[in-house]
Amino acid sequence: MSLTLAEVEHIAKLARLNLTEEEKSKYREQLSSILDYVTMLQELDTTSISEASGVQPDECPLRVDTSLPPMATSDLMKNSPATTKNQFRVPPVFE
């Protein structure tokens, strides 16, 4: 199958990725060939098979829902590119 340029742009938009024109055409070609390859899964009849959600054991334990000592706020905030008074600063959402 072959993806169209519009499909590539739509996926990039969903994934919040700015792509150059060069990247778009390269990904169009590469993703098309990967999708061609994975179509081999369609040859299997899986109507009676359930989806694996993972490989978790049934005995996966839950812990008691009590709070633990938190990490220091300063440790968490210091990695942000922009903060104000212990809050994350972001560009405007609305014009």
Partner 1 sequence: MSGDLTLLSIFEMQAGLRAGDFSCTELLEAHLQRIHDLEPRIHAFITLVEESARKEAKNADFRFSAAQNNGQIDDLPALLGIPIAVKDLITVKDLRCSCGSNVLGEWIAPFTATAIQRLLDAGAIIVGKTNTDEFAMGSSTETSAFGPTFNPWDTSRVPGGSSGGSAAAVAARMVPVAIGSDTGGSIRQPAAFCGVTGIKPSYGRISRYGLVAYGSSLDSMGAFTHSGAEAALLLGIMAGLDKMDATSADHPVPNYHKEITCDIKRLRIGVPREYFIDGIQSEIKTTIKTAIETYRSLGAEIVEISLPHTKYALPVYYLIAPAEASANLARYDGIRFGTRQSTGSMIDMFFETRGQGFGPEVKRRIMLGTYALSAGYYDAYYGQAQKVRTLIKQDFEKAFDKVDVIACPVTPTTAFKVGEHGDDPLAMYLEDVFTLPANLAGVPGIAFPVGLDLENLPIGMQLMGKRFNEKTLFQAVHSFQQNTKFHLQKPLL
Please report, for residues 2, 11, 42, 89, 93, the alpha-carbon distance to residue 32 in angstroms, rounded to integers and kept in the order given: 5, 13, 16, 39, 35
6: Cβ contacts below 8 Å, ≥ 6 apart: none
5 binds partner 1 (CB under 8 A): no
d(CA 14, CA 32): 18
Residue 88: strand pairing partners: 83
Out of 52, 65, 69, 86, the residue judged to bind partner 1 by CB under 8 A: 52
17 binds partner 1 (CB under 8 A): yes
Q: C-beta of 6: minimal distance to partner 1 in Å?
A: 13
85 binds partner 1 (CB under 8 A): no
Q: Which residues of this chain interact with partner 1, rule CB under 8 A? A: 8, 11-12, 14-19, 23, 26-27, 30-31, 33-35, 37-38, 40-42, 44, 46, 49-57, 59-63, 71-72, 75-76, 78-82, 88, 90-93, 95
